[in-house]
Amino acid sequence: MSVTAARGFRASGISAGLKESGRPDLGLLVADAPAAAAGLFTTNAFPAAPVVLSRLHLAGGACRAVVVNSGQANAGTGEPGMADARATAAAAGELLGTGPGQVLVCSTGVIGPRVKMGELVAGLPVAVEALDDGGGPGFARAILTTDREPKEVVVHADGFVVGGCAKGAGMIAPDLATMLVFLTTDAAIDPPLLDEVTRAIVGPVFNGLTVDGCTSTNDTVLVLASGGSGVEAAPGSRALAVLEAALGEAAEELARQIVADAEGATSTLVVHVSGAASADEARAAGKAVAGSLLVKTAVFGGDPNPGRLLQAVGASGASLDPMEVSISLAGHRVIEAGRVVAFDEAACAEALKEREVVIRADLGAGDAEATCFGCDLGYEYVRINAEYTT
Amino acid sequence: MSVTAARGFRASGISAGLKESGRPDLGLLVADAPAAAAGLFTTNAFPAAPVVLSRLHLAGGACRAVVVNSGQANAGTGEPGMADARATAAAAGELLGTGPGQVLVCSTGVIGPRVKMGELVAGLPVAVEALDDGGGPGFARAILTTDREPKEVVVHADGFVVGGCAKGAGMIAPDLATMLVFLTTDAAIDPPLLDEVTRAIVGPVFNGLTVDGCTSTNDTVLVLASGGSGVEAAPGSRALAVLEAALGEAAEELARQIVADAEGATSTLVVHVSGAASADEARAAGKAVAGSLLVKTAVFGGDPNPGRLLQAVGASGASLDPMEVSISLAGHRVIEAGRVVAFDEAACAEALKEREVVIRADLGAGDAEATCFGCDLGYEYVRINAEYTT
């Protein structure tokens, strides 16, 4: 049910003709009443037009609707692209009677071309007509580009629900930009607190995810809270703690689904870093390992290679005591006190064939920790990214 | 002639039995009298033992000899590895009558295993015996690991010579670490000034080079000046300016040879960034482009893909004005004023097949510029790095 599992939300997904394949390409998510809303956006210096617009519309901390198109990213499109994003919000706001400022816009697809506005504007009334409180899966499908599967999650908390869906992972595909994540809840929470929780709990999960190290122009995470459950997540309340845990769980589950579906990947890398001086440094070390080409290809090839792990941790910039660092690979201790040690290479190579490979690193420099998600890199990644021609 | 082109240097390269292949694996470079010496070392938090030792021995700004072994990197080897590096310097210092403090040590090869010290110590007298003022090419060959070709350069300046050789490029190979670069000159220059020139002129060239983004545990650049030409590169002199230009030219030529020989690469990427707020930012943007998996695979596949260039520049962290950025790819203008523009895609795809692909980006944010070197990424990179098993 993903984004419509929480009370107060309806959604739809239709084929508007934006994708040449004819697959669903227009998603609409609507809150029955203004929902508290928080967002996280790409740090790329070339944010796509819908990113610029949505950031602006989110300033009030509330929204009624999110329009998502797949097929064209509306990035690298200059002022005409901004006009297209504004026209999209205006058309949806008009149809829904909310005004444009209550509408957020997301796009994903090829960078450069303008959105097929004729098709999009013609499709919007159809999407409004199709809105349904069971429309989450249709919405989750309409936002996909080269994903193999939709990515959905529902977490049942104490009296309320957190649901969500996502697409993509970094700029994994032939210039099809973006990770988009939508989380909804029927807990009640004030916008400034929702913003805080989103930055503190949801942000780090997706910042710890790496597929190809390429920060897209369109990355967007939106969290909407309808209050439909009547459960009030007030500052300091138990309900707030439960909501934080549920949002964290939902985000982590979507992150796992994203890397599992990363193009060309055959296995997921889960990198736990402990003993770091700060959570940011733990994440930096974890991403350095999960994002290392040498680690990714070694896992793909089933080669237990401690030197590459040592190299990646050492180059991450995280504070560490070289004589205290220990690292295990798929359950085998390969680095002790900063030295490569003997281990059962055949058994470790066998363990690297699992669908999920866990790497644990302790930096010996503090108490902070973090978990990062990545994937291996093999021929299929090269094929997908090289053999596609524009 | 590489490192022996300048007067005052002799070198040799022999097979000591450190590599299982039997190929040359022990190189010795000797200055007839103490040479002014400057070094640049890896920033990896796990520096190899020889890096730690050489940094220490360089503190005086002079040296008589450099011992390089290939086969084992002496990294991730803890205190025993430090003892091995010290024993290497002691053995060479004894044979050459210089004492250990005048000897620098470099290692390259597999991370983890200890250096085969029996073979190395037995080989040193043979290497000393083989020292020759035409020994540069032999030295250049002995330092290689998985390189296809030695990398050598000689620049004839006004009354003096700069020569050099290099191996590797980042951690390109199956855990065979390292880029090593050795530059020699017979210009006379005081050690503090040589250090300054090395940091200002030579460092940026190699810091602008990326093959796989992995900073090795062993990276070392050494610059030795014998003074044998009698040309004095005094502060403010014309000779100093000529020396700076010659060192820069030699460094850039070696950098080009390194990326041209990068494993699995079919083409070299040369990324010129202009209009940057600082040279560091220009280099950051250039490396982001040259190091982007999506750019590398697109070039490999002959796919002219402006979106990936926009993404990489935008995510580099360099200051830029999104509305002022322009980018050309292999001679074709693909981004103007921050927008993807129409270009002759067929002609551009054809141009991507050249051995060297030039990308020019102007950030519209200042007057600084930099040139970075990289390479494409294809199936061969994956094969080399995945199918090797320890």
One digit per residue, the tens of pLDDT, for chain B of length 390 reads 799 999 999 999 999 999 999 999 999 999 999 999 999 998 888 999 999 999 999 999 999 999 999 999 999 999 999 999 999 999 999 999 999 999 999 999 888 899 999 999 999 999 999 999 999 999 999 999 888 889 999 999 999 999 999 998 655 544 555 789 999 999 999 999 999 999 999 998 888 887 776 778 888 999 999 999 999 999 999 999 999 999 999 999 999 898 888 877 889 999 999 999 999 999 999 999 998 888 999 999 999 989 889 989 998 999 999 889 999 999 999 999 999 999 999 999 999 999 999 999 999 999 999 999 999 988 888 887 777 544
Residue A229 has a pLDDT of 96
List the single residue in B43, B217, B294 with the smallest CB-CB distance to A171. Answer: B294
Task: Average the pLDDT over A47-65 and give the result.
Answer: 95
List all residues of chain B from 131 to 160 with a beta carbon under 8 Å from chain A: none
Rounded CA-CA distance A55/B95 in Å is 69
Among residues B147, B153, B136, the alpha carbon closest in space to that of B169 is found at: B147
Residue B145 has a pLDDT of 87
Rounded CA-CA distance A309/B264 in Å is 21
For testing contact with chain A, the best of B295, B311, B379 (most A CBs within 10 A): B311
Task: Average the pLDDT over A134-154 and give the result.
Answer: 93
List the single residue in A77, A215, A338 with the smallest CB-CB distance to B46. Answer: A338
Determine whether domain B2-260 maps to CATH 3.40.50.720: no
Contact B247, B179 (CB under 8 A): no
Task: Average the pLDDT over A372-383 and give the result.
Answer: 87
pLDDT of A388 higher than 60:
no
Residue B390 has a pLDDT of 42
| Contact assignment for B339 to A171 by CB distance below 8 Å | no
Query: A25-29, A96-100, A380-384, B360-364: lowest mean pLDDT where?
Result: A380-384
Chain B residues touching A73 at Cβ < 8 A: 307
| Residue ranges covered by each domain of chain B | 2-260, 268-387
Catalytic annotation on B178?
A: yes
Chain B residues touching A316 at Cβ < 8 A: 45
**Which residues are registered as beta bridge partners of B26?**
B14, B69
The CATH number, out of the four listed (3.50.50.60, 3.10.20.340, 1.10.1040.10, 1.10.240.10), of the domain defined by the range B268-387? 3.10.20.340
| Contact assignment for A171 to B303 by CB distance below 8 Å | no
Question: How many angstroms separate the CA of residue B85 from the nearest CA in chain A?
Answer: 16
pLDDT in tens, A293-346: 889 999 999 999 898 899 899 989 999 998 899 999 999 999 999 999 999 999
Rounded CA-CA distance A163/B77 in Å is 49
3-state SS string for A58-89: HHHCEEEEEEEEEEECCCCCHHHHHHHHHHHH
Rounded CA-CA distance B202/A318 in Å is 27
pLDDT of A363 higher than 70:
yes
Structure tokens at A74: 């509306």
Question: Would you say the C-alpha torsion B350, B284, B106, B386 has a positive or negative sign?
Answer: negative
